[in-house]
A = this chain, B = another copy of it.
Amino acid sequence: MSEEWSDTEISTLLNDNGMRATPQRMAICKELLLKKCHRTPNELHEELCQRFPTISPNTVYLTLSQLESSGLIRRFYVDGQAIYDSNTATHDHIYCRVCKLLLDVGTENSIHTPKCTEEWSIEWGTRVWSGVCPKCH
């Protein structure tokens, strides 16, 4: 994936995955795909409200769900909260249970896929390490 996305590139990406390039959807993609980042649906909705004051949470949920079905983003949960991640490569996370900070983290040998599961088709995996960050102890 390139670091920079033009409007036409995002538009094409959406169309290639069977989605129409509406302004709302373009904005969601820019917010998520341009930066390799984590977002909750609610965080995204609040950010988008600045440019689209009437955008509904529903639209955000729906778009995120479609992007995930297309494999363009991943979803996982931390403390019961859905997190969408534009970094689709298998990687680990580290989570501070005090301040809720969530970061990508490198782990040695972390991308080994499971043993004893030849017959499964594994699509992806993520790990969350929980603890307390430097600032919180």
Measuring CB to CB, which residues of chain A are less than 8 angstroms from any residue of chain B? 76-80, 82, 92, 94, 96-97, 105-110, 112-117, 119-134, 137
Contacts and interface: CB of A to CB of B under 8 A. Distances in A.
27 contacts: A77-B78, A80-B80, A94-B114, A94-B122, A105-B116, A105-B117, A106-B115, A107-B113, A107-B114, A108-B112, A109-B112, A110-B110, A113-B129, A114-B129, A119-B134, A120-B131, A120-B133, A121-B131, A122-B130, A122-B131, A123-B132, A124-B130, A125-B127, A125-B129, A125-B130, A126-B127, A127-B127
- Count this chain's copies in the assembly: 2
Contact of A115 (B76, B107, B132): B107
Given A82-B80, A121-B132, A125-B129, A105 B115 contact: yes
Nearest to A124: B130
Nearest to A137: B121
B124 A129 contact: yes
Contacts of A114: 92, 94, 105-107, 129
A58 to B, nearest CB: 17
